[in-house]
Structure 1
Amino acid sequence: MRKTISILGCGWLGAELGKKLMSKGYIVKGSTGTAGRYNELEFSGIQPFYIRIKPESVVIDYFSFFNTDVLVIAIPPKRVENISDIFPGQMGQIIKLIRQLKIPKVLFISSTSVYEATNSVVREGEEGNTEKPSGQAILKAEKMLQEEEGLQTTIVRFGGLIGANRNPARFLAGKQNIPGNVPVNLIHRIDCVNIMTDIIEKDIWGEVLNAVSPEHPTKKEFYTKASEVTELPAPGFVETPVKYKIVNSDKLIQRLGYTFKYPSPMDYLKELQEWAYRI
């Protein structure tokens, strides 16, 4: 019998995962909160569902979305006031449905924002006291899933996402006085999708895994090159020291036997440059 995967939050990342899983024979359901995305999912072959998760309730068209073998939760916290309460509230609503419909396995898409900037390498279990409200909210959500009795949860903490139609240069184009000697923690969407697929196919549960390209160029190196390749105004960098972190992905590489397609974010920029030369 074919397995069913439900992706809660089928956006820029979740939809690509859905397409990859469908190519491998899985039945894929995807949720969205917008009409435009609903039609896109339907056109791609992903079974679309309208779902909006609120801290106090769930707005949903069909509860059959939650009849699944694996639930992928890919809804990042929004940048709003009181997010450290709102996002855990949303997770509480999701957990009620997980419990009610007896979903056995969850893949939670987390973020490296859970780590404190300690001017050092950080690994799973070394979260510290993150200063970001989004990181605090995600840590609370992680803990809620991990503590749910009878639920097998794997948490993947992705770095900053690059790839596809996301031009990294536009985030800093023309900005000035940016501290440049800070290592970046980035990952390409293709690696994200491959990693999530591996976890599902290899039945890797009960883990917390960092997922960031193993090489960490400085912000100045990466964004200067990104601006050059895409012909956007280059940012202006300064030598002002600021706190940083280098997120280590060795555990993921060993646990999955994974080889990154883009071991360095600079590999993606080389690809962009080669593509530009061909057109």
Structure 2
Amino acid sequence: MKTVSILGCGWLGLPLASHLLREGYRVHGSVTSQDKLALLQEKGIIPYQIQITDTQITGDQLSGFLASEILIINVPPARREDIVAYHTAQMSLLLPLIKAQHVLFVSSTSVYPELNRVVTEDDHFEPVKGSGKALVAVEELFRTHTDCTVLRFAGLIGYDRQPGRFLAGKTNVENGDAPINVIHQDDCIAIITEIIRQGVWGEVFNACSDVHPLRKDFYTLAASKAGLVLPTFIAGGNKFKIINSDKLKQRLGYAFKYPDPLETL
């Protein structure tokens, strides 16, 4: 039985851990607060409390958590002024402690600037946002020093993360005619499972639903379905990117469970 360690059992990591358990893996899961340990244990996940700052890693059984064949790192950059330096320092502390044969680093399509065109993994770019800069730096760190696959997820939707609330009641929202990039939680979990099952390492993948509805159409329908006040939008879509996931689909033989985000609402 292979052991998978998931650093960060939150909105995505917790259901992923439960799914991998059902698939027959032994799963170690980490949370930052003690009050969440019982929830992991109830689900059959071996629980660990681990906190990583830019200066130290705290956790009573860190070596036990890291004793696995596969390590999934699901720790998004914290929102702070020194986001690039802080997140890079966090992951640099973790790097020499990794014992896993393979690493899966959960990244984001926020690494891509709005180039007003389709973007692929082959694009060379300079991120604009601090979070994107931090993620690119850490991607490079793990890809250089471990057998790592980087998975760049688009905007996460599904279950309690309902997009209808994001813009409900707002007026004159810009970029209404721009295409959006999102992915459902079920697809995120299925893709990670396939990477592990097929042993696809040393790659960089975009992961985004096939269809890219206009911002105004998606968020208006989402608010309507949720019974919320509809947002209004300013016409135009001069700031956008269209995330292409063909590489992932071809390499994994993957078909999205929710290819059209409008059907998830």
For normalisation by structure 1, the TM-score amounts to 0.92
- Equivalent of 2:140 in 134, 139, 143: 143
1:22 maps onto 2:17 in alignment? no
Question: Residue 273 of structure 1 aligns with which residue?
Answer: none
Percent identity for Structure 1 against Structure 2: 45
The answer to which of 171-180 and 114-123 deviates more is 171-180
Q: Structure 1: how far apart are the matches of 2:179 and 2:59?
A: 41
- For the residue of structure 2 that corresponds to 1:113, the secondary structure is helix
* Aligned position for 1:74: 74
1:205 aligns with 2:204: no
Which residue of 2 is the match for residue 243 of structure 1?
239
Q: How large is the Cα RMSD of the aligned pairs? A: 0.9
The answer on 1:224 being equivalent to 2:220 is yes
**Contact conserved, 1:117 with 1:130, CA < 8 A, in 2?**
no
1:171 alignment partner AA: F
Instruction: Work out the CA distance in 1 between the residues paired with 2:14 and 2:210.
Output: 25
C-alpha displacement at 1:58, in angstroms?
0.2
Q: Which range moves more in the overlay, 122-131 or 71-80?
A: 122-131
The correspondence of residues 84-123 of structure 1 with structure 2, limited to 5 A, is 84-98=84-98, 102-123=99-120
AA aligned opposite 1:19: S
For residue 127 of structure 1, report the CA deviation from its aligned partner: 4.5
Q: Confirm or deny: 8 A CA contact 1:161 1:189 kept in the other structure.
A: yes
1:116 and 1:127 in contact (8 A); partners too: no
Separation in structure 2 between the aligned mates of residue 56 and residue 125 of structure 1, nearest angstrom: 34
- Note the C-alpha offset of 1:196: 0.2
Letter of the 2:85 counterpart: D
Q: 1:157 aligns with which of 139, 152, 167?
A: 152
Q: What are the Cα deviations for residues 194-222 of structure 1, in whole angstroms up to 9, with x where unaligned?
A: 00000001000000000000110011010
In 1: Cα distance, 2:162 partner to 2:25 partner: 31
Q: Deviation at 1:36?
A: 2.9
Tell me the CA shift for residue 250 of structure 1.
0.2
The amino acid that maps onto 1:26 is Y
8 Å CA contact 2:178–2:236 kept in 1: the answer is: no
1:169 matches 2:168: no
Rounded to whole Å, the distance in 2 between the matches of 1:240 and 1:130 is: 23
Q: CA deviation at 1:241?
A: 4.1
Residue type of the partner of 2:59?
I
- The 4+ residue runs of structure 1 with deviation greater than 3 A are none
* CA distance, structure 2, for counterparts of residue 163 and residue 19 of structure 1: 16
Where does residue 33 of structure 1 map in the other structure? 32
CA distance in 1, matches of 2:163, 2:10: 18
Q: How far does the alpha carbon of each residue in 1:41-86 deviate from its partner, in whole angstroms, 9 at most, with x for none?
A: 1111111100001111101120200000000000000111110110
Moved more, 31-40 or 86-95: 31-40
SS in structure 2 at match of 1:236: coil
Compute the displacement of 1:37 (Å). Answer: 2.1
1:272 aligns with none
Unaligned stretches of 5+ in structure 2?
none
Classify the secondary structure of the residue corresponding to 1:238. coil
What is aligned with 1:132? 129
